[in-house]
Chain A
Amino acid sequence: MQSLSNRAKVLEKKPLTLAERAYLPAIFQGLSITLRHFFMKKATIRYPEETRPFSPIFRGLHVLKRDEQGRERCTACGLCAVACPAEAITMVAGERKKGEEGLYREEKYAVSYEINMLRCIFCGLCEEACPKAAVYLQADKMAPPRFERDEFIYGKDRLVEPVSPDARSARGIQLTPEQATALSQKTSPQLS
């Protein structure tokens, strides 16, 4: 019967030659292949001593950036939450009070900003959606495994780029003592 595609090849089953039946040449062929692999470079990465390098465009754990003066860039516009296909981002917006100009860049800021790392698919759409260049996915950091599900919900305490109160005052930003303690609580993450 002719095949429809005309590409079928008719194979003839030839009787084995003596060398093939003796099986030894085939064995030596196989042995030479495995011996070549014996001397090949090994694929193993010895983990704790060596680590696999991240790709330069790796999308890892999120960070909420500050501007040059150490103020939070995020204005809680919600575009990242809208862009997020996994609906992992929630936030509560608030109005900047007088005297908080050193803390927040715009008049509106995120009182709370949470990313659920179990929902997040690390697609980076939030990063693309952000008009203030506030949220980034770090190329060198991953969300580490944890024991409890609620520990995967990262709040501002763990997301905002840390900056020490001293560094802020070195840049000439005046802080009230309350602001300093509030900031140090925010920037030194208190993991449950």
Chain B
Amino acid sequence: MIELPTLGWQSIVILVVFGVSLLIATYCTYAERVIAAFLQDRVGPDRAGPFGLLQPLADAVKLFTKEEFFPAGANRALFVMGPCLAMITALMSSAVIPFGNVVQFGSNVFNLQGIEVNIGMLWVFGIVSLGVYGVMIGGWASNNKFSLLGAIRAGSQNISYELAMGMSLIAVLMISGTLSLRDITLQQSAPGEWHFWNIVKQPLGFIIFLVCAFAETNRTPFDLPECETELVGGYHTEYSSMKMGLYLFAEYVNVFVASAVMSVLYFGGFNFPFQYELRSWLVDSQGWELVSAQNLISVLGLLGLFGKIFAFIFFFMWVRWTLPRFRYDQLMRLGWTILIPLAIFNIVLTGGLLLAGVINFGVIK
């Protein structure tokens, strides 16, 4: 008998996470334009609402009212399925990310996380690697050479970089000894330490992971699947209206999820420095109850995690408007001959350091 997680509270959390991911993805479009503008000494959209904050709504209305176009000779079913798949896979992976520690009301303890599964990391990577199907199917069903080229590029790029990504992850798993994202987060919160984040133990692994995350989300400098200078629009050349919008949206949801995963794996997730000092200070000298102090810490940690996520999203956009696109052979060479050997070296190095006792296995406190 498989024990299912309780669904009452968790389904609410999942709905909230779903909504929040969509909201963040929506405002990513706005942030992208504003950041792009600021990096180029412009001001960006500022007409719709205060500071242009209603711009995403205007964009959505525009996309919805565009013509639904089906190219001649396209496989209609698959053509519709492509963007749906891209969106579904992008949204599914955020369910297992621990957004906050527990909060307790009376005797009810709530996890600020969609589903706690002990294979959270595998789930995320399984879903993320499915994401390439949305791109592949969409590109293939368009019956267009540019779309097909973009889709093939996306496929080969994602598969190549998933290898290095997985290997850089293995080093994290060697330290943590668990696949549960919650446990990995909790291990990075040893009381009395502040240098507990995995980035300290895994700097090389983080850089590899970061580069691969850029490639996995098809962001510049690895946005070859949709590079407009060579492939018109890449895999979404033939898409119009909200189907096009879903592809663009899925990219931003992917950016959000990748940022969240990086924050959880390497930057302590919902932990923040001096949280235990703050909690004991509240309990000891302010006379708070332990439960309410912990609730406050959890909420602050939730906000902290979102701060980290937003910082990563900003970094994604910052890089996009700084670096030019890689050439395709450079992309493949970087993936196969540099990142994968580096990742293997990182695994060996981590193993050696673990054996030598320089870094410790994670211990859940």
B322 lies within 8 A of A30 (CB)? yes
A24 lies within 8 A of B321 (CB)? no
Chain A residues whose CB sits within 8 angstroms of the CB of B365 once the complex forms: none
A24 touching B207 in the complex, CB below 8 Å, given contacts A31-B319, A34-B318, A34-B322: yes
A-B CB contacts (within 8 Å), total count:
38
A40 touching B322 in the complex, CB below 8 Å, given contacts A24-B207, A46-B46: no
A34 touching B41 in the complex, CB below 8 Å, given contacts A24-B207, A46-B46: no
Q: Report Cα–Cα, A37/B41, bound state, in Å.
A: 6
A1-50 with Cβ < 8 A to chain B: 24, 27, 30-31, 33-35, 37-38, 40-44, 46
B43 lies within 8 A of A46 (CB)? yes
A43 closest partner in B (C-beta): B41
A32 closest partner in B (C-beta): B322
Please, how many residues of chain A have a CB less than 8 angstroms from a CB on the other chain?
15
- Of B43, B318, B319, B322, which is in contact with the most chain A CB atoms at under 10 Å from its CB? B322
Chain B contact patch, size range: 10 to 19
> A27's contact among B37, B42, B323, by CB below 8 Å, is which?
B323
A38 lies within 8 A of B38 (CB)? yes
Chain A residues whose CB sits within 8 angstroms of the CB of B318 once the complex forms: 31, 34-35, 38
A27 closest partner in B (C-beta): B323
B39 at the interface (CB under 8 A from A): yes
B324 closest partner in A (C-beta): A30
B207 lies within 8 A of A42 (CB)? no
> A37's contact among B38, B43, B207, B319, by CB below 8 Å, is which?
B38
Contact with B along A52-82 (1 / 0, CB 8 A): 0000000000000000000000000000000
Q: List 9 A-B contacts (CB under 8 A).
A: A27-B322, A30-B322, A31-B322, A34-B318, A35-B39, A38-B39, A38-B318, A42-B38, A42-B41
Q: Which of A's residues lie within 8 Å of B, judged by CB?
A: 24, 27, 30-31, 33-35, 37-38, 40-44, 46
Q: Which of B's residues lie within 8 Å of A, judged by CB?
A: 35, 37-43, 46, 207, 318-319, 321-323
